[in-house]
Structure 1
Amino acid sequence: MKAAVIQRYGERTELHVQEVPMPTVDHIDDPHRVLIRVHAASVNPVDTKVREGGLKLILSGNFPKILGVECAGVVEAVGLMVKNVQPGDRVVASLGPEGGGYAEYAVAKDTNVVKLPDEVSFAQAAAMPVAAGTALQALLDKAKIRPGDRVLINGATGGVGTFAIQIARLMGSQVTAVCSSDGVPLALQLGAEQVIDYSVADFTKSLERYDVVFDAVGKSSYDECRPILTETGHYITTIPSPKQVLEQALTTFSGQKAESLLFTFNQDQMNWLLKQVADGKLLPVIERTYRLEELALAHGDSEAGHVKGKLVIEVVTPEIHENVS
């Protein structure tokens, strides 16, 4: 099969498409494997960190490596103990930091796979697990937002932020989006009631008070945002630091809370998110799609920043997957 691989850690130029052995589900020690014919995958910041070697202390040292932490496609085969999906099912999967999504076939654990509603495309689904899941877990699990809450989202037009705006609105919250000037129309389209252009104003100096400040790009801190939180407000970041860990401990018994989030895949939450897309209540924003051979270009665009929504790799072109799905 074709796959985009790296032979060593480094720049995006290390990504090359080549023929590699196809994975299988015939693994005697793990009968819970699902083989997926990949139609689409997406680019996440964790993919570029893995490529650079930022997670090498927790990953296997084997090369070549196939990156890509999420994908969508059609089930090709299943292990003996897999009950929730079967060959022919349209699915989306979270693959974890070991990856495997940038290829024609990928293997996932059955607990990290869910079926797709007919109304959700492969590209839309591939854009969702990490970004939409992170947004939902930040707002629901960490902040426990309620109708009427005032929510500020920093990085509101990025991959996580575009989902966060919509999820907060679905839950009845009032949303203030922080983004660049060219992201203002998108933020408003997605449901933000107010928008702060970070090139014009510093949101941490706002006169408003918020029940939740969700930094979807990890560029602020609890200490900076504390003055704009209500007395029981939550600050949540996607990029924990040693300082953030200390702040979390210090706010354990206080009214205001500092939180950080490490995404973990949850089937029930993924099914809920997919239903919102199927019902037309949640829109995965995809700025651009690429062929597998253009993966290095996609990584470069991701690292350059200012992406609106998600970047998606189409391993199978839409015309083809409409005929085989």
Structure 2
Amino acid sequence: MRAIVQDRYGAADSLRLAEVARPVAADDQVLVRVHAAAVNAYDWHAMRGDPYIARLSFGLGAGPRARIRGRDFAGRVEAVGRNVTRLRAGDAVYGDLGPVDGAFAEYVRVREELVERMPAGLTFAQAAAMPVAGSTALICLRDAARLQPGQRLLVNGASGGVGTFAVQLGRAFGAQVTGVCGTRNLELVSGLGADEVVDYTRDDFTRGGRRYDVLLDLVGNRSLTDLRRVLAPGGTLVLSGGGVSGGGSLFGPMSLLVRGRLLARLVRHRLVVPSTVPSRENLVALREFAEAGQVVPAIDRSYPLDRAPEAIRYLEIEHARAKVVITG
């Protein structure tokens, strides 16, 4: 089968299209013919081995432990292992492979508990855009922030992959949502349901005097002091990620997350750095939100499989809004 493989850490030109062995489903796995996959910041970090401390999980050699990039996928079940009872050949499914050989390929094999039936009414591209970014937003708001109806939520990085889901999920949870983004993305974020949109090129949201019950920071470009200034008494700051720009550092955005964990023990506000792991439970929840019309994946661009390096380069350099997907 065709797949995008990588043998050494580096820029997008370290990726290449190659013929590799088609995987075979083990007893507790399903084999899926991939119709679409999504690009995430995780793929960029794994490709670059950046920040360097992350190579403890990516692989300490010349290249990543997993040769094939890509985590999110959507497609049709091709075959099932003998212990699989919930799915059968022909089912339309989606899921998150986690840090294993990836989805930028014609086929993937995945454990049954990490795959779920696709939301009805979505295309394969839309479904592929959901698992990592949608689950991250869900974990941040539902589990970490414990977001409640009527609360004021601010999403810093509202036009990114996770941010576009966070805006919609915030509305679904009944919050008053403010999104922070650049000028070109104001209409996008407003169209996703944000009650208010702040253009960071014109206004500093940390100096406006507004207070929020929950602040979800997806950018990592402001100090903890700035972010805490925006919180109402007893408010919650959720730190998750920090984009893909910069690079070449020892800790990268992880340094802010580590400081957040340490500071959380010393301040009145709740500071939370959530852990995100693939979960069928979250895929079921996202499917229900999508089928209820409360979440619609926003897609910036689509690329064919042989142009996957270009897709990652676009995410890295052009600050893609919403999701970038690989089709076919």
1:48 aligned partner, one-letter code: W
Q: Does residue 5 of structure 2 align to residue 5 of structure 1?
A: yes
CA deviations on 1:43-93 (whole Å, 9 max, x unpaired) are 000001111123432245677811101101111112222222121111002
Q: Paired residue for 1:269, among 278, 282, 287?
A: 282
- Go from structure 1 to structure 2 and tell me whether the alpha carbon gap of 1:306 and 1:38 turns closer, same or farther (over 3 Å shift): same
1:93 aligned counterpart, secondary structure: strand
In the superposition, the TM-score normalised over structure 1's length comes to: 0.90
Match of 2:114 in 1: 112
Match of 2:56 in 1: 57
Once the two structures are TM-superposed, the CA of residue 116 in structure 1 deviates from its matched residue by 1.4
Distance in 1 (CA, whole Å) between partners of 2:139 and 2:65 is 33
CA deviations on 1:123-154 (whole Å, 9 max, x unpaired) are 11100011111111101100001111000101
Identity of aligned residues (%): 39
CA deviations on 1:254-306 (whole Å, 9 max, x unpaired) are 54111112321222221121122223221100011100011111011100143
- Go from structure 1 to structure 2 and tell me whether the alpha carbon gap of 1:222 and 1:74 turns closer, same or farther (over 3 Å shift): same
Unaligned 5+ segments in structure 2 are 242-252
Q: Does residue 271 of structure 2 align to residue 258 of structure 1?
A: yes
Match of 1:212 in 2: 214
Distance in 1 (CA, whole Å) between partners of 2:84 and 2:146 is 33
1:163 aligned counterpart, secondary structure: helix
Taking the TM superposition and a 5 Å limit, the aligned residue runs for 1:1-325 are 1-26=1-26, 31-54=27-50, 55-59=54-58, 65-239=67-241, 241-252=254-265, 254-315=267-328
How many pairs are equivalent? Answer: 311
Q: 298-307 vs 170-179, which deviates more? A: 298-307
1:157 aligned counterpart, secondary structure: coil
2:180 aligned counterpart, secondary structure: strand
CA contact (8 A) 1:120 1:274 kept: no
Distance in 2 (CA, whole Å) between partners of 1:270 and 1:102 is 20
CA contact (8 A) 2:220 2:256 kept: no
CA contact (8 A) 2:66 2:101 kept: no
1:8 aligned partner, one-letter code: R
CA contact (8 A) 1:10 1:52 kept: yes
CA contact (8 A) 1:23 1:107 kept: yes
2:55 aligned counterpart, secondary structure: coil
Once the two structures are TM-superposed, the CA of residue 215 in structure 1 deviates from its matched residue by 0.8
Distance in 2 (CA, whole Å) between partners of 1:243 and 1:19 is 40
Unaligned 5+ segments in structure 1 are 316-325
CA contact (8 A) 1:6 1:16 kept: yes
1:209 aligned partner, one-letter code: R
